[in-house]
Structure 1
Amino acid sequence: MENRYIHFGIVLGLIAAISAGLLGGVNGFTSKVIAENTLKIVNEARKQVLPEAASFKEEEAKEAEGIQYIPGFNEAGEVVGYVASVAEPGYGGDINFVVGINNDAKVTGLNVVTSSETPGLGAKINEKEWQEHWIGKDATYEFNKSTDAFAGATISPKAVYTGVIKALNTYQNEVSK
């Protein structure tokens, strides 16, 4: 009877070891692919919000007040602006977005990367038309409930507005200097 338990224990241990080895190997392979795909998605979002940039250099990123600013360069290698990665608390959780800021401290684009806002209400911040509304705005822009928000949803748009203004002010006061 005892031999059976030892036998089953050894077999179970071997199965667990083989499974762990296979999972580790698959994870090692797929983690590189996932990281590459994530970088492609992020760079595409960066190009959407700072279209004048031909390339971005993460190694030259600046961080200020919890916001990461990645410089965008044109074909001649000149900085044409920065892409700021911002996270602001919304109604359904954090709203993560990237905002393009040109050298004149104006918004060149906005892209909400992830949000958990209420479908049909706050989730309208994910719509391209609403995001394009921010292009050309600067730090002096004041939130207008009738044009910036949606009926029944002001928390999500206000959170994006707060993040955009924070990014613009931090850019002007710390990053651009």
Structure 2
Amino acid sequence: MSNTISDGIRICRADYANPRHATALVSLLDAYARDPMGGGEALSDFAKANVVSELAKLPYAFSLLAFDGEGDDAPVGLANCILGFSTFACKPLVNVHDLTVAAASRGRRIGERLLVEVERVARAHGACKITLEVLSNNPALRLYVRSGFAQYQLDPAAGQASFMQKWLD
């Protein structure tokens, strides 16, 4: 699956066995990790060396890459997604774990195009929803709202959900 828009941006599903795709994924993910919205620290050498092969082992993971041009020479966007399951809806869901656009390519609606493709894949899997987490000061929040995402809540009286984590050693 690959689609090219008239401005030369091509979105495709990453082939984890393709060295060019693997290099693009690691490069974009590392740039995202270095960005303040990704934590401001480079990926570890371990993550750089292993993230693609570990994703490839997961039948419920998929990644989308955006390239500027017909070849795989200029990677400009990445979406790493994980299929999950909504017990309340009793249907699959897709979590966008990482979404990033190269700094020099922002403002070209590449993130929007990646989300459109995520939605297409999610619908093909029969997913009931797409989830993601975003920092409150992330400029991409506008993109997510424009794309139909909203704060998660079951009942307004119960409040909005918070995303929490606990690191394990």
Q: Normalization by structure 1: what TM-score?
A: 0.33
Rg larger in structure: 1
